[in-house]
């Protein structure tokens, strides 16, 4: 157990390091550097920057140093909570991101929870009533869910919402709540808006889980212990829910490691379509404006949050189900 914990933490740290290197690559890739963009910014607003000034700025930011030194400087900056300036906004990056990072995570976690809530009963139903109409419907919807990329699903639902119900289904808050300070009313408003984006994001994952759950449970249902339980007169619900379902639940635990990054990833693009106030639209804007500090920070923070999220859920699952193999997936 302890060995597993240590191994798992080491892997998480290693992953975070990899994320930081990749984010740094994202920042460094475009031609020019922070100062080039800064100069362009200044001269477009009318005030020029002389060559000497630029040189001293470069020295001040350490841009004349080799890459590894620059990476280390950036990392120390980040670890102190200083993410640099967002050029386009003229404000610190952490200011610009604000609530958006948390909202991204809220949407993603909601999608995962919804995935489970849907996949569990539907998967059980599909297995217990194999080849019934309900099973076919679930399988069909599942395949559609797998085949339609989430952003396209968002587009189609948005179009249907607009033409059939004449409502705009985008956004996470009602009018007036977006800019308001956090309150109970605002949180409730958020909760009311969550299910739809969560469903769109979670559908592909739900489809997959239903299929796995169905297959696993079908395997279990034929085993002698189920027959024994039934023979001893246990009620049908008890026979199914008490034993085989528990065994078949394993995929719920083992897939979260892949599901969470996948959902966070999807949330970026779905947020753009549904105009959700997450980091998605901000990242796209930053990338198009070549505001690389903002973009790199978002990639970094998203990566780190995902790694932490996966780590925490892994620990939770061990606590819930001690049979999970410690050797990893």
Partner 1 sequence: MDRPAHQVRGQVAEGAQALGLPTTETEERISVATQWQLMWWRFRKHRVAMASTVVVLLFYLVVIFADFLAYSNPLASEAQRSLLPPQRIHWFDNGRFAPHVYALSGRRDPVTFKRVYTPDPEKKIPVRFFTPGFEYHLFGLIPANWHLIGIEGATPEETLFLLGTDEQGRDLWSRLMYGTQTSLTIGLVGVTISLILGVLLGGISGLYGGVTDTIIQRVVEILRSIPTIPLWMGLAAALPNDWDIMRVYFAITIIISLIGWTELARVVRGRFLSLREEDFVMAAELAGCSQMRIIFTHLVPSFLSHIIAATTLAIPAMIISETSLSFLGLGLRPPAISWGVLLQQAQSIQALAISPWLLIPSIPVTIVILAFNFMGDGLRDAADPYGQ
- Rule CB under 8 A: which residues touch partner 1? 11, 14-15, 18-19, 22-23, 25-26, 29-31, 143-144, 146-149, 151-152, 155-156, 158-159, 162-163, 168, 170, 257-258, 261-262, 264-266, 268-269, 272-273, 283-284, 287-288, 290, 295-296, 298-299, 302-303, 306-307, 310, 328
Query: To the nearest whole angstrom, how small is the minimum distance from the Cβ of residue 260 to partner 1?
Result: 8
Q: Compute CA distances 62 → 56, 70, 236, whole Å.
A: 10, 7, 70
Residue of 240, 219, 220, 218 lying closest to 229 (CA atoms): 240
Query: To the nearest whole angstrom, how small is the minimum distance from the Cβ of residue 226 to partner 1?
Result: 21
Residue of 296, 312, 294, 302 lying closest to 265 (CA atoms): 302
Residue of 120, 111, 140 lying closest to 212 (CA atoms): 120
Q: Rounded to an integer, what distance in angstroms lies between the CA atom of residue 24 and that of residue 35?
A: 16
Residue 296: enclosing H or E segment and its boundaries? helix 292-320
Nearer to partner 1, 205 or 303 (CB): 303
Nearer to partner 1, 7 or 246 (CB): 7
Query: To the nearest whole angstrom, how small is the minimum distance from the Cβ of residue 266 to partner 1?
Result: 7
Query: To the nearest whole angstrom, how small is the minimum distance from the Cβ of residue 228 to partner 1?
Result: 25
Nearer to partner 1, 65 or 265 (CB): 265
Nearer to partner 1, 171 or 230 (CB): 171
Q: Rounded to an integer, what distance in angstroms lies between the CA atom of residue 11 and that of residue 69?
A: 25
Paired tokens of 255: 């897939």
Query: To the nearest whole angstrom, how small is the minimum distance from the Cβ of residue 79 to partner 1?
Result: 19
Query: To the nearest whole angstrom, how small is the minimum distance from the Cβ of residue 183 to partner 1?
Result: 29
Q: Report how far Cα 111 is from the mean position of its chain's Cα atoms.
A: 9
Paired tokens of 2: 């302890």
Query: To the nearest whole angstrom, how small is the minimum distance from the Cβ of residue 29 to partner 1?
Result: 4
Nearer to partner 1, 37 or 120 (CB): 37
- 91: β partners: 86
Q: Rounded to an integer, what distance in angstroms lies between the CA atom of residue 294 and that of residue 298?
A: 6
Conformation bin of residue 49: beta by default, left when phi > 0, alpha when psi is -120 to 50:
beta
Q: Rounded to an integer, what distance in angstroms lies between the CA atom of residue 280 and that of residue 265?
A: 9
Nearer to partner 1, 245 or 253 (CB): 253
Contact 135, 126 (CB under 8 A): yes
Nearer to partner 1, 100 or 239 (CB): 100
């Amino acid at each position: 157990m302890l060995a597993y914990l240590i191994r798992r933490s080491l892997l998480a740290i290693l992953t975070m390091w990899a994320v930081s290197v990749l984010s740094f690559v994202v920042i460094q890739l475009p031609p020019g550097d922070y100062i080039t963009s800064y100069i362009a910014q200044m001269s477009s607003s009318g005030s020029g920057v002389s060559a000497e000034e630029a040189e001293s700025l470069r020295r001040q930011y350490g841009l004349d140093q080799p890459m590894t030194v620059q990476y280390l400087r950036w990392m120390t900056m980040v670890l102190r909570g200083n993410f640099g300036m967002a050029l386009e906004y003229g404000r610190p990056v952490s200011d610009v991101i604000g609530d958006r990072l948390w909202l991204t995570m809220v949407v993603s976690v909601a999608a995962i929870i919804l995935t489970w809530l849907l996949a569990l009963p539907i998967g059980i139903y599909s297995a217990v009533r194999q080849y019934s109409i309900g099973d076919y419907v679930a399988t069909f919807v599942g395949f559609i869910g797998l085949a339609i990329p989430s952003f396209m699903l968002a587009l189609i639902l948005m179009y249907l919402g607009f033409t059939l119900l004449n409502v705009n289904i985008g956004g996470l808050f009602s009018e007036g709540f977006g800019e308001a300070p956090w309150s109970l009313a605002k949180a409730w408003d958020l909760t009311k808006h969550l299910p739809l984006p969560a469903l769109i994001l979670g559908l592909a994952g739900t489809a997959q889980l239903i299929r796995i759950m169905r297959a696993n449970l079908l395997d279990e249902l034929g085993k002698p212990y189920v027959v024994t339980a039934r023979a001893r007169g246990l009620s049908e619900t008890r026979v199914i829910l008490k034993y085989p379902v528990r065994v078949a639940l394993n995929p719920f635990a083992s897939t979260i490691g892949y599901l969470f990054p996948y959902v966070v990833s999807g949330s970026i693009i779905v947020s753009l379509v549904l105009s959700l106030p997450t980091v998605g639209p901000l990242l796209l804007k930053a990338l198009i404006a070549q505001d690389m500090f903002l973009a790199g920070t978002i990639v970094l923070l998203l990566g780190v949050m995902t790694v932490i999220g996966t780590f925490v859920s892994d620990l939770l699952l061990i606590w819930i189900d001690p049979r999970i193999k410690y050797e990893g997936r």
